[in-house]
Amino acid sequence: MNKEQQYEHVALQIKGLIESETDLIANLSNIANLLGEAFSWWWTGFYLVKDKELILGPFRGPVACTRIAFGKGVCGTAWQEKKPIRVKNVNDFPGHIACSAESLSEIVVPILKDNEVQMVLDVDSEMENHFDELDEKYLERICYMIAEKL
Ligand code: SME
């Protein structure tokens, strides 16, 4: 399977999961694991907006930072800008928050409801420049599926 086929396959699995379960945390947990396992990413997870901060939610991977402020790091910047951010090398991103020294590239996609960011999907890779337009397209599609259920 090429990457596009893998994403189609995973998107179908996610569709099935969230159609049959209404609990958000249960769904985010399964989605983080499905995605992370399918693509063997270093870290895959969600940060949820709570009391004007991003707080760590369901994830797959090593222990991570628990709180991120608005506008801080890649996640806080994606929240502020309300758009996906792809970082080829995190060392070149001013203010990047290094939860793990292994991470080299990152993609963050915000999930919105009523034009307000509710959470972000964050994916880290230990490889440089790991994420391309195809990743962004499919991760946005998956985030849209999650947003529709909020
Ligand atoms: N690197 C992120 C922080 C979250 S961890 O990567 C899991 C950032 O700069 O926002």
Helix, strand, or coil here: 132?
A: coil
Q: Which of 97, 103, 109, 91 is nearest to 146 (CA)?
A: 109
**pLDDT band with cut points at 50, 70 and 90 for residue 100:** confident
Q: At what angle do helices 24-39 and 133-148 cross, to 10 degrees?
A: 160
Query: Is 125 a pocket residue for ligand 1 (Cβ < 6 Å)?
Result: no
Give the tens place of pLDDT for each residue, 13-42: 999 999 999 999 999 999 999 999 999 999
Characterise 57 by phi-psi region: left (phi > 0), alpha (psi -120 to 50), beta (else).
beta
Give the tens place of pLDDT for each residue, 61-78: 999 999 999 999 999 999
- Whether 58 and 48 have beta carbons less than 8 Å apart is answered as no
Query: Is 74 a pocket residue for ligand 1 (Cβ < 6 Å)?
Result: yes
Helix, strand, or coil here: 129?
A: coil
Query: Is 99 a pocket residue for ligand 1 (Cβ < 6 Å)?
Result: yes
Predicted confidence (pLDDT) at residue 99 exceeds the cutoff of 90: no
**How many A from CA of 20 to the centre of ligand 1?**
30
pTM score, whole prediction: 0.97
**How many A from CA of 95 to the centre of ligand 1?**
10
Q: Which of 13, 11, 14 is nearest to 28 (CA)?
A: 14
d(CA 46, CA 79): 12
Give the tens place of pLDDT for each residue, 121-150: 999 999 999 999 999 999 999 999 999 999
Give the tens place of pLDDT for each residue, 81-93: 999 999 999 999 9
Query: Is 77 a pocket residue for ligand 1 (Cβ < 6 Å)?
Result: no
- Whether 84 and 108 have beta carbons less than 8 Å apart is answered as yes
Predicted confidence (pLDDT) at residue 101 exceeds the cutoff of 90: no
In ligand 1, the atom with minimum distance to the C-alpha of 124 is 6
In the chain, what are the helix, strand and coil shares in percent, each to the nearest 5? Answer: 40, 25, 30
Give the tens place of pLDDT for each residue, 49-58: 999 999 999 9
